[in-house]
């Protein structure tokens, strides 16, 4: 099995957000077919993570998209989280990944609801979710501590309309 390489300059963090309009480039994203469990971090199996690779560099991780806190029973819901190396932003990679992970959650996992929370100033991330069919349900005040500061987040949700 080939070892994955992450360039030393890769920045997979919440620190940088691009508020300007991004030029859409042709998408060349390769999604692994299988989603892997978190393993030791998630012994209950309530999370799924998918790493993203470019077709032209299949050994280099561009970012990841994850379904976390999967709740079964009558709720059938989870949280969506994602991150992308800064140099690969504004190329359509994350929109494609969010669409793929959302489809997987609805078709393969049978989930009814996926929730994502985004800082209001992260316009690019909000646009990714909007393009993937997520809708705003409100603001979660002081929701998460990011870089040492409690930040408000816009609560975005997508429902599985195929389910009754």
Domain that holds residue 102: 29-159
- Whats the size of the chain, residue-wise? 164
Q: Count Cβ atoms below 10 Å from residue 104 Cβ, excluding itself.
A: 17
Task: With respect to residue 20, please indicate whether it lies within any of the assigned structural domains.
Answer: no
Residue at 82 is within a domain: yes
Give the domain CATH number at 88.
3.40.630.30
Taking residues 1-17, report their average pLDDT.
43
Counted domains in the chain:
1
- How far is the C-alpha of 143 from the C-alpha of 150, rounded, in Å? 7
Q: Is the pLDDT of residue 144 over 80?
A: yes
- 77-84 and 113-118 strand pairing: parallel
pLDDT at 78 over 90: yes
16: in domain: no
> Rounded to 5 degrees, what angle do the CA atoms 98, 126, 36 make?
25
Residue 84: inside a domain: yes
pLDDT, tens only, 36-55: 333 333 444 566 666 776 66
**48 assigned to some structural domain:** yes
In a domain, 12, yes or no: no
Whole-number Å distance between alpha carbons of 18 and 90 = 9
Task: Indicate the average pLDDT of the chain.
Answer: 75
- Return the pLDDT at 42: 45
Question: What is the value of pTM for the model shown?
Answer: 0.72
């Amino acid at each position: 099995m080939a070892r994955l390489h992450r360039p030393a300059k890769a920045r997979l963090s919440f620190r940088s957000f691009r508020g300007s309009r991004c030029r859409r480039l042709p998408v060349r994203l390769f999604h692994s077919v299988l989603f892997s469990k978190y393993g030791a971090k998630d012994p209950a199996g309530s999370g799924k993570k998918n790493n993203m690779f470019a077709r032209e560099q299949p050994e280099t991780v561009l970012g990841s998209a994850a379904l976390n806190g999967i709740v079964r029973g009558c709720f059938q819901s989870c949280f969506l989280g994602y991150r992308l190396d800064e140099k690969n932003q504004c190329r359509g990679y994350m929109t494609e990944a969010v669409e793929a992970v959302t489809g997987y959650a609805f078709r393969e996992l049978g989930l009814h609801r996926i929730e994502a929370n985004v800082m209001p100033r992260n316009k690019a991330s909000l646009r990714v979710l909007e393009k993937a069919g997520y809708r705003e349900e409100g603001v979660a005040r002081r929701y998460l501590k990011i870089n040492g500061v409690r930040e408000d987040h816009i609560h975005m949700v997508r429902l599985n309309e195929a389910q009754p």
